[in-house]
Structure 1
Amino acid sequence: MHETADLVIRPATGADLPAIVAMLADDPLGATRESPDDLTPYVAAFKRLTEDPHQHVMVAVRGERVVGTLQLTFVPGLSRRGSTRSIIEGVRVHADERGGGLGTRFIEWAVERSREEGCRLVQLTSDVSRTDAHRFYERLGFTASHVGFKLQL
């Protein structure tokens, strides 16, 4: 089990992209949709994200090594009496770091950051095949409350 005391959570930089994309590709779903050998589209996307004040691509770093990533988005809205919500996406923990508390610390950080922003709701989605992730999120207090739909374009 890994300690989380030496973990630093910080905004991602362009230099972190190879590690981030490698983690995105390191599972059965990601392996079919990510291209770690060609970072060109990720560099363009990262530029768009860093220019948007509502988007926060974060990394968890142990020593000099990126061991986790997530994207936290703040969405102002009219529903829920004009409240802001946050969306957590792209959560990944390096394979050799799983099970040591890093994921819990990372999600707890995102929830706390959402509170600081005045969010009234934190939401996330997880592919139906990720049953281990579903149990993880439920242990952290999330509930499976909606049915999600996607349209590939």
Structure 2
Amino acid sequence: MIWLPLAATAVAAAWLEWLRRRHLVVAVRGPSMAPTYHHGDRVLVRRRSGRRLRTGQVAVVDLPERLRPMPDGVSLEESLRNRRVIKRVAAVPGDRVPFPIEGPGPVVPSGCLVLLGDNPDGSGDSRQYGYVPVDAVVGVVVRPLRTRS
């Protein structure tokens, strides 16, 4: 009879490991996604390739170092905290380049995305750093986990 609790524990551990590999929880920092998400909100993210994103989805992206905003006086630690961003996918490869993004041609090139924050006045996004590689995508937001009080 002792095997039943052990089996249940093993199944629960396997399920949690599967869940952890496919999903992650990300805390929203800053005002860039308001009014959709606010500073302090937590969102459930399904790990997904950037090649499977669609326009309108909200993605979590690890910005390559060359794209990260690095104002004077910012420490390396702060720069690393600015690595992961949450932005809405405004255009995928083959879509027309949306205004006000400037690109070398009329369509988004293969392997690139245009990402925009929902709060244009409080967002660092493709308007500042241009195209983002699809390989930088960590996943897509599935739903919020906690709402503001």
Q: TM-score, normalised by structure 2?
A: 0.28
Q: Which has the higher contact order (CA 8 A, sep 6+)?
A: 2
Larger Rg: 2
Higher helix share: 1
Q: TM-score, normalised by structure 1?
A: 0.28
